[in-house]
Amino acid sequence: MTPVHPTTRIGHVHLKVADLERSIAFYSGVLGFEVQQRFGSGAAFLSAGGYHHHIGLNTWESLGATPPPVGHTGLYHTAFLYPSRAELADALRRVAAAGIEFDGAADHGVSEAVYLTDSDGNGVELYCDRDEADWPRSPDGALAMNNAPLDVDGLMAVGLTH
């Protein structure tokens, strides 16, 4: 089997949500994605940088619904890649200022990541990659990701002037 073309990317995530306004408040009001378009009271499309949409939100089949129970299949998390540690730190400060708790954090060697849950129980990862030259490798050159503790307070201080 031939691999997929190397420039192929995940274009967007589309989530079923229980309350559209509550979800917009999280993805736009807290994380800062901009609403690009709304379809009545049932759907909204948000993005960074004016792209048509990175996030689709809808209540078409889920208005007023509860999150899926733990232990069932489904989306584990949506990961948002920030262009730098400073931009990731800004996102983490926004989340903390909104009173949203982090579920976890990890230094994966290739990236630094913080995990949280949106208002519908969907997992969210906020992360930034390290330069590929700095990725951990095994002696044979294979990628050697890890799951080490992350200094979240230190990361959140990045970009602040004292």
pLDDT digits (tens, 9 = 90+) for 20-47: 999 999 999 999 999 999 999 999 999 9
Q: What is the pLDDT of residues 87-137, one digit of tens each?
A: 999 999 999 999 999 999 999 999 999 999 999 999 999 999 999 999 999
Is the pTM above the cut of 0.75? yes
Pairing mode of beta strands 43-47, 34-39:
antiparallel
Contact 26, 32 (CB under 8 A): no
Give the pLDDT score at 162: 55
* Domain extent at residue 51: 9-63
- For the cut 70, the answer to whether the pLDDT of residue 1 exceeds it is yes
Q: For residue 158, give Cα distances in angstroms to 1, 15, 29, 150.
A: 44, 31, 22, 13
Assess if residue 150 is contained within a domain: yes
CATH number, position 26: 3.10.180.10
Q: How confident is the model at residue 160 (pLDDT cuts 50, 70, 90)?
A: confident
CATH number, position 117: 3.10.180
Q: Report the distance separating Cα 128 and Cα 14, nearest Å.
A: 22
Assess if residue 160 is contained within a domain: yes
Q: What DSSP character marks residue 20?
A: H
Assess if residue 2 is contained within a domain: no
93 shares a domain with 45: no
Give the pLDDT score at 54: 97
Average pLDDT on 15-24 reads 98
Pull the structure tokens for residue 6: 């190397």
**Which residues are within 8 A (CB) of 65 and not within 5 positions of it... i.e. 6 or more apart?**
16, 18
* Sequence letter at residue 73: T
- The rounded mean pLDDT for the chain is 96
Distance of CA 41 to the CA centre of its chain: 24
- For the cut 90, the answer to whether the pLDDT of residue 15 exceeds it is yes
